[in-house]
Amino acid sequence: LVFSALVPLIAIVRIIDADPLTKRFEVNVYNNLPKDNSKLVTHCQSGNDDFGNRTLYVNQYQQWAFHQDLFKRTLYFCHLWWNGKQQTFDVFSKHLSGDCQTGIGGNICSWIARADGIYFSPNEVTHVGPVGVPQKRYDWQ
């Protein structure tokens, strides 16, 4: 009797964790700052994951992937510092998920730090830079 009660529970857990129900997303934070003053410090996290402080030099990027939760509550945000300036912003949320699905490769949110601000691209980032033409979203503060 106990075994038969567990079988439906195991099936429900597998359905919730299945790819068709939860989309996989990738986030990239890319340093595209001038080479003479290139150190970008990032601190990215969600309610469940904290990646700590990372230092990225020119053309380096931080990347992670995850499955959006079933109720679309997944939220990641980053705090960036460069040359005495900073910016904090959401890098993934249910509101951004639609933007992230429009680019090459799909389900990608790329954030590019440049001297004049932070740019967004729904395309992948490679070691030579972002693919496509990013759009400016934030100024440095």
pLDDT digits (tens, 9 = 90+) for 78-92: 999 999 999 999 999
Average pLDDT, the chain: 85
- pLDDT, tens digit, for every residue of 38-57? 899 999 999 999 999 999 99
pLDDT value, residue 126: 73
- pLDDT, tens digit, for every residue of 14-35? 344 445 677 899 999 999 999 8
Residue 9 has pLDDT above 60, yes or no: no
Residue 16 domain-assigned? no
Task: Give CA–CA dist 7/17, Å, rounded.
Answer: 16
Residue 1 has pLDDT above 70, yes or no: no
Residue 14 domain-assigned? no
Task: Give CA–CA dist 135/70, Å, rounded.
Answer: 29
Rounded to two decimals, what is the model's pTM? Answer: 0.82
CA distances from 47 to 15, 41, 44, 64, 121 (A): 23, 20, 11, 15, 24
- pLDDT, tens digit, for every residue of 93-114? 999 988 988 777 779 999 999 9
Top pLDDT among 24 and 3 is at 24
Top pLDDT among 12 and 86 is at 86
Residue 75 domain-assigned? yes
Residue 72 domain-assigned? yes
Residue 17 domain-assigned? no
CATH code of 61's domain: 2.60.40
Residue 90 domain-assigned? yes
Alpha helices in 17-138 (DSSP H): 97-100
**Contact criterion met (CB below 8 Å) for 82 and 54:** no
Residue 3 domain-assigned? no
Q: Give the total number of structural domains in the chain.
A: 1
Range of the domain at 113: 24-139
Task: Give CA–CA dist 79/62, Å, rounded.
Answer: 13
Residue 1 domain-assigned? no
